[in-house]
């Protein structure tokens, strides 16, 4: 980091350096005084030891003859809830446990996680869960699914485990056996032997997984991008390792398809630095950055350039503060003491000395960046002369919400900069040309595109066939569709499917919410509800009280009340002796309202006799 002059006026934050008491809910970091070349060495978070080990042995192989089954449980029909199962004999391993965030029509749904019912009764056969990296679409289902797999160890890089541990603090009853690994580590998991390759992504310590099976080697890339002209040692080592796979007779390559529909090659992080430097150096007022909260690479870049130009950095939003805390304690970010301000201190410094960073660049409604656009943050308000920077590409499906908050920033008088104007964001996923090069390097017998909408998988297939890869050796599977490989390495995309019903997270509840419930919620949101309390006496309706929520305007209520009252008085005597008069009348009422008023509120009728 570049040291820069600091003003001696104004308060200081104690959060700028490493060490000291950190963490929330009573947890504390233990950080080594000197950095070890192996990331995480000597670091612990509370009772969680983050030093990677060279080897773990969970279960000995039984050498039974069987087929290898590969099943993508989530991520092949959507962006999110990534999870893959590999199964051979009695041995099962799971790669990733992601969440998909609820869509607009899913009223009250916070997220969707994969369905584990396929494993019911065989939980003891699951040897391990392996997490490729720290993004929520790869770790977000852990609090909901790991309790279904008691005693199963979870492996990942130290920084990923630290973030998972932080998130599990909100569910203290859930205990997960977390074990740190890195590129040096190997796992013996019954008939599977697992090793790792560090890959380039928007977070550090992202891992590709190399799985040796009795039927051949399977490579799962996780999220990745590839630098075909690396300038640093890490990039050169990664590229060389990928090329070495080409001589190892790889059976199947499961490869990230998120950006397969984009032509060309992905930008590298070094390409972003110049534009970030120009934005930060030329800004006359405050700089307000929005980003994805777990993008450690971008966070480090912004802080480094801010220091270069003598600016103070404030971080808003709990999720981004957590990321900074973890990255500092593991040595990924080392700001000069005094650089980092508490968000409450921003008002005490000249605007041209302040750079504030917030999570929520995808337009998430409860995130700090969204609240900033609403001018709803207590400590920072957007002012004319501020520069608002979206340092994140738009995840497919979020275009409307991102445009919504962009318009809000313009209305507040800010200058808005996004990744389309300048190279201020290098995506974390390989584009079509990169994916084709990876297939050429790895030389798998079969390609299995994963992680993306169905169309993305076909884009990935097209990128591979453009390099000469045979289309019949590409398996485009639906979620839950079983792929089988025999002892000779012959693969089949079968027609067999396992259950993949959407499992909805409703608040802190994990349950199957059926389609009818979601349709009811949508109807309530779109049309409102009408609650009708009626009193019957001597076989006739004598009193009707109606209350509505979200149904038309109050000026319509008198005519609605008259129409409903007349209907009940006319129809109740006809059905009062039948089995369920209240249910019959409720159904007829809904049809009458829909026909006469061209509306379809949810009707709740109660008749007291």
- CA 247/CA 561 separation, integer angstroms: 78
Say yes or no: 276 and 258 in one domain. no
Say yes or no: 87 and 148 in one domain. yes
Q: Give every strand in the sheet of 192-199, ordered side by side.
A: 55-59, 186-189, 192-199, 206-213, 216-220, 250-256, 446-450
| CATH number of residue 232's parent domain | 3.60.15.10
The average pLDDT across 145-166 equals 96
- CA 364/CA 461 separation, integer angstroms: 32
Q: 281-285, 362-366, 453-457, 507-511: lowest mean pLDDT where? A: 507-511
Q: Is the pLDDT of residue 11 over 50?
A: no
pLDDT of res. 214:
96
Is residue 510 very low, low, confident or very high in pLDDT (cuts 50, 70, 90)? low
pLDDT of res. 396:
62
Asked which of 394, 417, 440 is the last residue of a domain, the reply is 417
Say yes or no: 166 and 296 in one domain. no
pLDDT of res. 527:
72
Which tokens is 155 given? 């492996």
- Average pLDDT in the chain: 86
User: 138 is in which domain, residue-wise?
Assistant: 59-264+428-506
pLDDT over 90 percentage in the chain: 55
Say yes or no: 241 and 106 in one domain. yes
Q: 20-29, 533-542, 565-574: lowest mean pLDDT where? A: 20-29
- The answer as to whether 50 is a domain residue is no
70 has which bridge partners?
86, 483
- CA 82/CA 93 separation, integer angstroms: 14
For the chain, the domain total comes to: 3
- The answer as to whether 519 is a domain residue is no
Say yes or no: 406 and 445 in one domain. no
- The answer as to whether 5 is a domain residue is no
Q: Is the pLDDT of residue 523 over 90?
A: no
Is residue 85 very low, low, confident or very high in pLDDT (cuts 50, 70, 90)? very high
Which tokens is 404 given? 């919504």
Strand 216-220 to strand 206-213: parallel, antiparallel, or no bridges (unpaired)? Answer: antiparallel
pLDDT tens-place string over residues 30-84: 888 777 778 888 899 989 999 999 999 999 998 888 999 999 999 999 888 999 9
Q: What is the DSSP letter of 225?
A: B
- The answer as to whether 221 is a domain residue is yes
| CATH number of residue 274's parent domain | 3.40.50.10710
Q: Is the pLDDT of residue 160 over 70?
A: yes
pLDDT tens-place string over residues 236-252: 888 899 999 999 999 99
The most confident of 429-433, 530-534, 573-577, by mean pLDDT: 429-433
| CATH number of residue 578's parent domain | 3.10.20.580
217 has which bridge partners?
212, 250
- Given a contact cutoff of 8 angstroms between Cβ atoms, the answer to whether 83 and 100 are in contact is no
pLDDT of res. 555:
55
- The answer as to whether 377 is a domain residue is yes
- CA 77/CA 73 separation, integer angstroms: 10
pLDDT tens-place string over residues 286-329: 999 999 888 898 899 999 999 999 999 999 999 999 999 999 99
Say yes or no: 411 and 302 in one domain. yes
- First-to-last C-alpha distance (Å) of the chain: 79
Say yes or no: 230 and 81 in one domain. yes
CA-closest candidate to residue 538, choices 571, 573, 563, 567: 573
pLDDT tens-place string over residues 94-109: 999 999 876 655 555 6
- The answer as to whether 532 is a domain residue is yes
- Given a contact cutoff of 8 angstroms between Cβ atoms, the answer to whether 23 and 163 are in contact is no
pLDDT tens-place string over residues 413-469: 999 988 665 555 667 899 999 999 999 999 999 999 999 999 999 999 999 999 999
Asked which of 417, 439, 470 is the last residue of a domain, the reply is 417
pLDDT tens-place string over residues 587-600: 888 888 777 767 77
Q: Residues 6 or more apart from 468 whose CB is under 8 A from it?
A: none
- The answer as to whether 403 is a domain residue is yes
Residue 506, CB half-sphere, CA atoms under 13 Å: how many? 13
Say yes or no: 133 and 232 in one domain. yes
pLDDT tens-place string over residues 191-218: 999 999 999 998 899 999 999 999 999 9
Sign of CA dihedral 286, 370, 75, 136: positive
Say yes or no: 354 and 224 in one domain. no
Say yes or no: 334 and 472 in one domain. no
Say yes or no: 277 and 407 in one domain. yes
What DSSP string runs through 71-138? EEEESSSSSS--EEEEEETTEEEEE----EEPPTTSTT--EEE---GGGTT-GGGEEEEE---S-HHH
Asked which of 417, 442, 467 is the last residue of a domain, the reply is 417
DSSP helix/strand/coil, 329: helix
Cβ neighbourhood burial of 353 (10 Å; 0-12, 13-18, 19+) = middle
Say yes or no: 374 and 460 in one domain. no
- The answer as to whether 290 is a domain residue is yes
């Amino acid at each position: 980091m570049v040291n820069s002059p600091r003003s001696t006026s104004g308060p200081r934050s104690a959060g700028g350096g490493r060490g000291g008491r950190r963490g929330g809910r009573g947890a504390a970091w233990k950080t080594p005084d000197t950095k070890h070349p192996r990331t995480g060495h000597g670091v612990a978070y509370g009772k969680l030891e983050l030093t990677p080990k060279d080897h773990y042995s969970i279960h000995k192989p039984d050498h039974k003859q069987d087929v290898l089954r590969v099943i993508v449980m989530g991520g092949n029909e959507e962006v999110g809830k990534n999870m893959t199962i590999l199964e051979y004999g009695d041995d099962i391993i799971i790669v990733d446990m992601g969440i998909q965030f609820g869509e607009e029509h899913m009223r009250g749904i916070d997220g969707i996680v994969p369905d584990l019912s396929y494993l019911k009764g065989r939980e003891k056969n699951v040897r391990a869960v392996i997490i490729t990296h720290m993004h929520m679409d790869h770790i977000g289902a852990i609090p909901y699914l790991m309790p279904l797999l008691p005693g199963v160890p979870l492996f990942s890089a130290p920084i990923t485990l630290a973030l998972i541990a932080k998130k599990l603090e909100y569910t203290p009853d859930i205990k997960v056996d977390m074990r740190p690994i890195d590129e040096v580590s190997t796992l013996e998991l019954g008939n599977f032997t697992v090793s790792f390759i560090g890959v380039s992504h928007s977070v550090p310590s992202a891992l590709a997984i190399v799985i040796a099976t009795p039927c051949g080697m399977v490579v799962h890339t996780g999220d990745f991008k590839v630098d075909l002209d690396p300038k640093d040692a890490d990039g050169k080592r990664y590229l060389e390792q990928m090329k070495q796979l080409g001589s190892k007779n790889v059976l199947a390559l499961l490869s990230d398809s998120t950006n397969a529909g984009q032509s060309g090659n992905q930008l590298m992080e070094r390409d972003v630095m110049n534009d970030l430097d120009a934005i930060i150096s030329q800004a006359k007022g405050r700089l307000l950055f929005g980003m994805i909260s777990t993008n450690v690479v971008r966070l480090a870049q912004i802080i480094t350039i801010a220091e270069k130009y003598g600016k103070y950095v404030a971080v808003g939003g709990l999720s981004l503060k957590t990321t900074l805390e973890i990255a500092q304690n593991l040595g990924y970010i080392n700001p000069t003491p005094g650089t980092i301000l508490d968000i409450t201190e921003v008002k005490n410094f000249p605007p041209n000395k302040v750079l504030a960073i917030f999570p929520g660049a995808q337009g998430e409604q409860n995130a700090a960046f969204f609240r900033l656009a609403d001018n709803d943050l207590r400590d920072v308000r957007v002012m004319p002369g501020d520069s608002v920077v979206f340092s994140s590409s738009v995840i497919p499906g979020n275009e409307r919400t991102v445009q919504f908050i962009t318009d809000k920033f313009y209305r507040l008088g800010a200058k808005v900069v996004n990744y389309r104007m300048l190279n201020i964001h290098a995506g974390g996923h390989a584009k079509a040309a990169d994916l084709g090069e990876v297939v050429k390097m790895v030389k798998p017998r079969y390609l299995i595109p994963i992680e993306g909408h169905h169309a993305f998988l076909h884009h990935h297939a097209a990128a591979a066939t453009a390099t000469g890869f045979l289309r019949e050796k590409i398996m485009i599977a639906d979620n839950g569709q079983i792929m089988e490989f025999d002892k000779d390495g012959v693969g089949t995309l079968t027609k067999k499917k396992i259950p993949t019903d959407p499992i909805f997270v409703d608040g802190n509840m994990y349950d199957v919410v059926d389609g009818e419930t979601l349709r009811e919620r949508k109807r309530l949101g779109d049309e409102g509800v009408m609650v009708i309390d009626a009193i019957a006496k001597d076989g006739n309706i004598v009193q009707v009280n109606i209350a509505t929520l979200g149904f038309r305007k109050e000026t319509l209520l008198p005519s609605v009340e008259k129409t409903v009252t007349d209907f009940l008085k006319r129809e109740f005597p006809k059905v009062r002796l039948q089995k369920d008069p209240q249910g019959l009348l409720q159904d007829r009422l809904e049809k009458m309202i829909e026909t006469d008023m061209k509306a379809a509120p949810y009707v709740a009728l109660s008749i007291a006799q």
